[in-house]
Amino acid sequence: MNQEEIQFHPYSPFIPETTRRLILGSAPPSRFCSPNKTELKDKDIDYYYGSYSRGYNLLWDLLFHIFEPESLSELKNIRNLQIPREERTCTQQKFFQNFLQRYYLGIADILYQFIRRDQSSADSNIRPLKFLNLTEYLYHSAELQTIFCTSHYKVFIWLKQYLHTQDINLLKDAEDFYFLLPAKNNQSLPSRKISVKILPSPSPIGRLRFPDHKSFFDNLLKLYTELFKENV
């Protein structure tokens, strides 16, 4: 096949001023980046981590298990809404944004413009053209202390490359990564330390290393719970 297509990220970052922890991914699957949404599947959520193909991305299930297990039935209902796509998109996005805001979480992807090969959803088939201007959001959200990358192989590497374009070095202290965000327009003020943590990918591809879905999910939930609870 070997076809390449230039795509833009379809969603605006959700990083309110009150955000303390940011979940940072790469880019949605190809069908989400299409100018029209006719390619979306019935159970796709038209938002970050909304893919329902080959199982579905587990990020939202994991976050609700950690922060709001009493709302899991509501999460299931919001995923299965049977209303017109435009109305469904608005309802679903508002639902997830309200959830994120309750727990001082933000969500974004590091890629703004990119080349995708063969319509693949694999990060290995994506080549960055332009990164999200992340530092501007970090300046806007003064309480943001931690960035969670949803993969080591690409998201973490692309974050490192982006920071390099801003003359910011990604550093390591023992087992923890971090960078120092310079004070904006005032070099006399101290830099702000931003921790960088790596989450195991919530994508269904990780399921291949486990005997069944339950063991895969339980392993992810344990690791996610430890990371999110440690970084309150």
pTM of the model: 0.94
Strand order from edge to edge, sheet including 111-117: 4-8, 111-117, 126-131
Domain extent at residue 116: 4-230
DSSP symbol at 7: E
Residue 50's nearest CA partner among 69, 42, 112, 111 is 42
Pairing of strands 146-149, 21-25: parallel
In Å, how far are 25, 28, 116, 216 from 4, measured between CA atoms? 21, 16, 6, 33
CA-CA-CA-CA torsion sign (7, 134, 15, 156) = positive
Q: Quick check: 11 pLDDT over 70?
A: yes
pLDDT of residue 232: 56
pLDDT digits (tens, 9 = 90+) for 193-223: 999 999 998 887 777 788 888 999 999 999 9
The predicted model gives 140-144 an average pLDDT of: 95
CATH of the domain at 85: 3.40.470.10
Residue 83's nearest CA partner among 73, 95, 68 is 95
> Both tokens of residue 199?
């989450």
pLDDT of residue 1: 60
Q: Which amino acid is at 62?
A: L
The predicted model gives 124-131 an average pLDDT of: 93
pLDDT of residue 204: 78
Q: Quick check: 36 pLDDT over 80?
A: no
Average pLDDT score, the chain: 91
> Both tokens of residue 227?
């990371």
Higher-scoring residue by pLDDT: 122, 133:
133
- Considering its fold, how many domains does the chain have in total? 1
The predicted model gives 133-158 an average pLDDT of: 94
Where do the DSSP E strands lie in the chain? 4-8, 21-25, 105-109, 111-117, 126-131, 146-149, 171-173, 176-181, 192-198
pLDDT tier, 55 (very low <50, low <70, confident <90, very high otherwise):
low
Q: Which amino acid is at 20?
A: R
Q: Could you identify the residue written with the tokens 């290393």?
A: 209
pLDDT digits (tens, 9 = 90+) for 129-139: 999 999 999 99
DSSP symbol at 115: E
Question: From CA 159, how far away is CA 214, in angstroms rounded?
Answer: 31
Cα 81–Cα 83–Cα 84 angle in degrees, nearest 5: 130
DSSP symbol at 200: P
* HSE (side-chain half, CA atoms, 13 Å) at 134: 30
Rg of the chain over Cα atoms, rounded to whole angstroms, equals 18
Q: Which amino acid is at 118?
A: D
